[in-house]
Amino acid sequence: MSDESNKGSGYANFDRALEKPAEQPATHQAATVILLRDGAEGLETLMLRRNSKLDFVGGMWVFPGGRLDPEDWEGIEPDDRVGASRRAAVREAREESGLEIEDSALDVYSHWEPPSITPKRFLTWFFVAPAPSGTVEIDGGEIHESAWMRPAEALRRRDASEIELAPPTWVTLYELSQHADVAAAIASVRAREPESFTTKIARVDGGVAALWHGDAGYESSDPSTVGPRHRLWMLKTSWRYERTP
């Protein structure tokens, strides 16, 4: 395993996110698509490893995606961010994996907003779709590796420091790991309203935690507040998602 593909637990990256930037960073619209297929051992999703030299999530394993381009807005109403993001997700899948997806095949999965102190803030719509037929082809520039992974295996590999994942990717993989096949995963998405996550990061013993709506400590950014939990514990030893029913 190369040094480029294994940069450790990634804890330091999120700990540094607690350092307030000199200026409030600008926000950018982005989109990503979770491509699913039924593998020999169950549900699999396409994961891509970004070039470690990139400023944004360099070296991490991600779903195909990226920033919205002006062309994504052509013919789209100015306030239709989902429509433009859907088009961007199709384009990014083509550019990063060589796979052609029909925009009608995409279902909205979730929306993610990073902490306000993050140096580069991408407001990202996540979509999900069955993977089309075809061979994955990467450019070797922005994307350095690709792999079809079972969600639970990706989580295990992160804890083993074999790969790096960002919190939105981790939570998405955790949710997908509850489904046996593509049909079950898609049916689950269509049966609920897309969820929006606005992230706050707080220090905890042994690491940091990402806090979301419904967590007792969310409004105050105090993870010790007694009450319901909705957070990702990002500890140096392992990561753990906790959500009170």
User: Which helix or strand (DSSP H or E) is residue 167 part of?
Assistant: helix 167-176
- In 10 A of CB 160, how many CB atoms? 11
3-state secondary structure 202-238: EEECCEEEEECCCCCCCCCCCCCCCCCCEEEEEECCC
- In the prediction, which pLDDT does 20 show? 56
Close Cβ partners of 195 (under 8 Å, ≥ 6 residues apart)? 110, 111
Query: Given a cut of 50, is residue 238 above it in pLDDT?
Result: yes
What is the distance, to the nearest Å, from the Cα of residue 52 to the centroid of all Cα atoms in its chain? Answer: 17
On average, the pLDDT of the chain sits at 89
Query: Given a cut of 90, is residue 4 above it in pLDDT?
Result: no
Strands 107-113 and 195-198: parallel
Q: What percent of the chain has pLDDT over 90?
A: 77
Q: With bands split at pLDDT 50, 70 and 90, how would you rate the model's confidence at 3?
A: very low
For the stretch 88-147, pLDDT in tens is 999 999 999 999 999 999 999 999 999 987 777 889 999 999 999 999 999 878 888 999
Q: Could you tell me if 31 and 175 are in contact, meaning their C-beta atoms sit under 8 angstroms apart?
A: no
Mean of pLDDT values over 162-187: 97
- In the prediction, which pLDDT does 139 show? 81
Q: Could you tell me if 223 and 204 are in contact, meaning their C-beta atoms sit under 8 angstroms apart?
A: yes
Mean of pLDDT values over 151-162: 95
Burial class from Cβ neighbours inside 10 Å (0-12, 13-18, 19+) for residue 237 reads: exposed
- In the prediction, which pLDDT does 116 show? 83
- In 10 A of CB 191, how many CB atoms? 7
Could you give the CA distance from residue 169 to residue 171 in angstroms, rounded to a whole number?
Answer: 6
Query: Given a cut of 80, is residue 198 above it in pLDDT?
Result: yes
- Token reading at 178: 């509850």
Q: With bands split at pLDDT 50, 70 and 90, how would you rate the model's confidence at 21?
A: low
Close Cβ partners of 5 (under 8 Å, ≥ 6 residues apart)? 49, 52, 59, 144, 145, 162, 163
Q: With bands split at pLDDT 50, 70 and 90, how would you rate the model's confidence at 55?
A: low
- In the prediction, which pLDDT does 6 show? 36
- In the prediction, which pLDDT does 26 show? 80
Q: What percent of the chain has pLDDT over 70?
A: 87
Mean of pLDDT values over 208-220: 97
Q: With bands split at pLDDT 50, 70 and 90, how would you rate the model's confidence at 8?
A: very low
- Token reading at 173: 């993989």
Burial class from Cβ neighbours inside 10 Å (0-12, 13-18, 19+) for residue 212 reads: buried
Could you give the CA distance from residue 178 to residue 175 in angstroms, rounded to a whole number?
Answer: 6
Domains of the chain are 11-198 (3.90.79.10)
- In the prediction, which pLDDT does 61 show? 95
Mean of pLDDT values over 170-186: 98
Q: Could you tell me if 235 and 207 are in contact, meaning their C-beta atoms sit under 8 angstroms apart?
A: yes
